């Protein structure tokens, strides 16, 4: 029943945002824009996108190496499998799939791996806010209240990273404090499981003990998202949309922050609505903005999903195993 509620909530959110995307559009003009687009830009755009995915895999290496050094090619395959799972499963279950697949293949703690993915997401959020703030130096938002809210969210992300770094920097004290409370649990199996979970979480935060690794993670996050934003700009050239690069930074940041909201698999609606909103705000016709967004979303969805299915097949991971991961949260292994 819980899954059904989550599914229906995501479906409702996606449908509402799709209504926003297609409201007052002309299907004939959308089709005309799609016919006139120059799709030759897709190849360099996709190449740039997958360079960004490779950088994300390299970034994950920094977060994981305190647990176990793992080569970037293996991590690239796992990241792509996770993206594929996000595209076919609801509620960003691809993150659990990544932890499950890497745990199975590399014999590392699934819980510790999942913690590194959470740290990744915090750095991604900080990068999106960096893009928004950076964009405001080149394009005016025209909304002081919005700017204030963004600064507040940015402060929360910085506070989250600082809190995680503090926890990571004193594992002995955290372990002793946890042990003080865990000793009071009613049964030995429960105490053992909770102790293992605490150890796995501290191991997953290991990268934050190193200022060099933390800075590298942030720098690689910016570089990876710049590659993806470059993909946005290249595809826009195929639609003769000429806007400052800062607009695409803003669009990418808002779209990826909004995808936190419940939606259908593949982020239908929650990804598209912010892109259309930003482009129309900067003078692009809504029909043209919608056509561009449809192609951009397809380019972000289809290639990585197909490649992820191939890698999953090569790794012996079936769709049945992937779907079961929805209800099997990683244990403290």
Q: Considering only CA atoms, which of 63, 88, 3, 70 is closest in space to residue 317?
A: 88
The pLDDT of residue 184 is above 70: no
- pLDDT 10s digits, 77-132: 999 999 999 998 876 788 889 998 998 889 988 888 888 888 888 888 888 888 88
Identify which of 317, 311, 310, 321 has the alpha carbon closest to the alpha carbon of residue 73.
Answer: 311
Q: In the prediction, which pLDDT does 156 show? A: 73
Mean pLDDT across the chain: 83
User: What residues contact 285, with CB distance under 8 A and at least 6 apart?
Assistant: none
Within 8 A by CB and 6+ apart from 134, the residues are 246, 249
Return the CA Rg of the chain. Answer: 21
The C-alpha atoms of residue 49 and residue 44 are separated, in whole angstroms, by 9
Residues 282-308 have pLDDT tens digits of 999 999 999 999 999 999 999 999 999
pLDDT score, position 7:
74
Min mean pLDDT across 39-48, 264-273, 287-296 is at 264-273
- How many DSSP H helices and E strands does the chain contain? 14, 0
Cα 288 to chain centroid, rounded? 26
pLDDT of amino acid 10:
81
Q: What is the pLDDT of residue 215?
A: 80
| Cα 252-72-198 angle, rounded to 5 deg | 85
Distance CA 210, CA 199 (A): 18
Position with higher pLDDT, 192 vs 13: 13
Note the pLDDT tens digit of each residue in 215-259: 888 899 999 999 999 999 999 999 999 999 999 999 999 899 888
* pLDDT top residue among 10 and 211: 10
Lowest-confidence segment of 77-91, 162-176, 246-260, 265-279 by average pLDDT: 162-176
Task: Please write the tens of the pLDDT for every residue from 232-244.
Answer: 999 999 999 999 9
State residue 159's pLDDT score.
75
What is the mean predicted confidence (pLDDT) over 260-273? 87
**311-328 confidence digits (pLDDT tens):** 999 988 877 766 666 545
**Residue ranges of domains in the chain:** 27-327
Q: What is the mean pLDDT of residues 182-208?
A: 63
Stretch 39-47: mean pLDDT: 97
Q: How far, in Å, CA of 44 to CA of 25, rounded?
A: 29
**Which of these, 119, 116, 157, 113, lies nearest to 253 by C-alpha position?**
157
Nearest to 274 by CA among 246, 298, 254: 254
pTM, entire model: 0.84
């Amino acid at each position: 029943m819980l899954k059904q509620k989550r599914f229906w909530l995501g479906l409702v959110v996606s449908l509402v945002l799709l209504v926003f995307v297609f409201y007052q559009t002309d299907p004939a003009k959308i089709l005309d824009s799609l016919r006139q687009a120059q799709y030759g830009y897709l190849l360099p755009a996709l190449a740039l996108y997958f360079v960004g995915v490779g950088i994300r895999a390299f970034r994950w290496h920094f977060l994981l190496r305190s647990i176990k050094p793992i080569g970037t090619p293996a991590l690239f395959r796992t990241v792509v499998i996770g993206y594929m799972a996000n595209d076919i499963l609801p509620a960003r279950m691809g993150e659990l799939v990544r932890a499950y697949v890497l745990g199975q293949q590399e014999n590392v703690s699934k819980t510790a791996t999942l913690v590194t993915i959470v740290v990744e997401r915090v750095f991604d959020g900080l990068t999106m806010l960096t893009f928004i703030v950076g964009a405001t130096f080149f394009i005016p938002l025209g909304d002081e209240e919005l700017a204030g809210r963004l600064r507040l969210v940015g402060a929360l992300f910085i506070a989250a990273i600082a809190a995680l770094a503090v926890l990571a920097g004193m594992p002995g004290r955290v372990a002793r404090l946890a042990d003080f409370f865990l000793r009071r649990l009613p049964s030995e199996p429960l105490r053992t499981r909770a102790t293992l979970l605490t150890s796995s979480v501290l191991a997953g935060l290991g990268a934050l003990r190193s200022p060099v690794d933390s800075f590298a993670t942030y720098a690689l996050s910016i570089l990876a998202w710049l590659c993806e934003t470059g993909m946005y700009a290249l595809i826009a050239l195929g639609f003769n949309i000429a806007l400052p690069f800062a607009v695409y930074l803003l669009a990418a940041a808002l779209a990826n922050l909004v995808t936190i909201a419940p939606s259908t698999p593949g982020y239908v609606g929650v990804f598209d609505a912010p892109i259309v909103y930003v482009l129309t705000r900067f003078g692009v016709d809504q029909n043209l903005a919608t056509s561009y967004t449809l192609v951009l979303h397809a380019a972000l969805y289809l290639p990585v999903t197909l490649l992820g299915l191939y890698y999953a097949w090569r790794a012996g991971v079936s769709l049945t195993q992937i779907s079961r991961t929805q209800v099997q949260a990683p244990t403290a292994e």
